[in-house]
Amino acid sequence: MSIKSDLQQSFMTQLLKKTSLTRTISKFSAIGLVVCSSLSVTFLSLKSSYAYSAFKNNDYYVAQSKQKSGERGNFSQFKYKLAQRETGEQNPSYDNTKNQWGFIGKYQFGEALLIDLGYYQADVYYGNGADRNYWRGRWTGKDDIRNKEDFLNNKNNVQEKAINQAFALQWSRLKAELQQNGRSVEQYLGKSTRGIAITTSGLIAASHLRGPRATAEMLLFDKDNRDERGTSIFEYLNEFAGYQIK
């Protein structure tokens, strides 16, 4: 018997000795009261704690509890884990250019994204006439970034600025994609798909991997989409679920 149960039984025994209940309640009734009291305390504690989510033995409940408590990590930790995944480096570097498709930097930026963010201009680029990111276009000078070297050197902390802008842009585009289909992102948050909790951080990571449209199709039609290495959009939804996003 636990310490809590011993204290409860002692308390009940003293109470029974000091009142007239000792003449009307049998020994077995007293034991029954102690057992019921102990069980009530146990189940109340379980349901109101993080252990309740773990007890459900379901990744969805666990991820949701972590999302609320911030246990997975904060925004900076989310970005760091994303950078590790994108670059394959334990200590992701800003000057990473190892990707065979020409994605660059700590978060593996492509030409198309930097065009959307206003840092770069090109008529032919990866996804529009080119089979990889060749970086043959022009840099606009935004944030005083004049060339690829400025970007890879993270001049003026540009890569952190760019990824924050990218998250905001992708989030707004995801919402727009869903609205065109008569849905909203709020209708999916807190639910699950394929046993994976749908969280803000997971959706942002999925959008970074395959874009807002592919992320919307994942939610709307349960459609998978994979990158050049074969990484599933569902992997990012799951791997990056539950982080606190500012």
Same domain as 137, residue 16: no
Same domain as 133, residue 74: yes
Residue 206 lies in a domain: yes
Task: Quote the number of domains for the chain.
Answer: 2
Domain boundaries, position 14: 3-48
Residue 56 pLDDT: 34
Distance of CA 106 to the CA centre of its chain: 19
Residue 204 lies in a domain: yes
* Whether the model pTM is above 0.85: no
Q: What is the pLDDT of residues 192-213, one digit of tens each?
A: 999 999 999 999 999 999 999 9
**Strand pairing partners for 109?**
104
Same domain as 223, residue 153: yes
> Does the pLDDT value for residue 80 go beyond 60?
yes
Give 90: exposed, middle or buried? Use CB within 10 Å, 0-12, 13-18, 19+: exposed
Residue 58 lies in a domain: no
Measured distance CA(175)–CA(211) in Å, rounded = 12
Closest to 217 in 3D by CA, of 188, 238, 246 = 188
Q: What is the pLDDT of residues 231-243, one digit of tens each?
A: 999 999 999 999 9
Tell me the mean pLDDT in the region 23-37: 38
Residue 155 lies in a domain: yes
Same domain as 122, residue 9: no
Tell me the mean pLDDT in the region 92-119: 98
Split at pLDDT 50, 70, 90, the class of 44 is very low
Residue 211 pLDDT: 98
Same domain as 163, residue 202: yes
Same domain as 223, residue 135: yes
Residue 244 lies in a domain: no
Same domain as 131, residue 75: yes
Q: What is the pLDDT of residues 151-178, one digit of tens each?
A: 999 999 999 999 999 999 999 999 999 9
Split at pLDDT 50, 70, 90, the class of 126 is very high
Residue 54 lies in a domain: no
CATH number at residue 124: 1.10.530
Measured distance CA(171)–CA(163) in Å, rounded = 12
Q: If residue 42 lies in a helix (H) or strand (E), which one and from where to where?
A: helix 27-47
Same domain as 81, residue 42: no
Split at pLDDT 50, 70, 90, the class of 36 is very low
The residues near 39 (Cβ < 8 Å, ≥ 6 apart) are none
Same domain as 101, residue 16: no
Alpha carbon separation from 231 to 156, 158, 167, 188 (Å, rounded): 32, 27, 20, 22
Same domain as 36, residue 133: no
> Does the pLDDT value for residue 25 go beyond 90?
no
Tell me the mean pLDDT in the region 45-73: 44
Residue 9 pLDDT: 46
SS3 36: helix
Residue 246 lies in a domain: no
Tell me the mean pLDDT in the region 41-57: 30
Residue 199 lies in a domain: yes
Same domain as 209, residue 89: yes
Split at pLDDT 50, 70, 90, the class of 11 is very low
Residues above pLDDT 70, as percent of the chain: 71
> Does the pLDDT value for residue 20 go beyond 50?
no
Both tokens assigned to 97: 């250019």
Same domain as 146, residue 44: no
Residue 67 pLDDT: 52
Tell me the mean pLDDT in the region 92-112: 98
Measured distance CA(36)–CA(201) in Å, rounded = 42
Residue 66 pLDDT: 52
SS3 89: coil
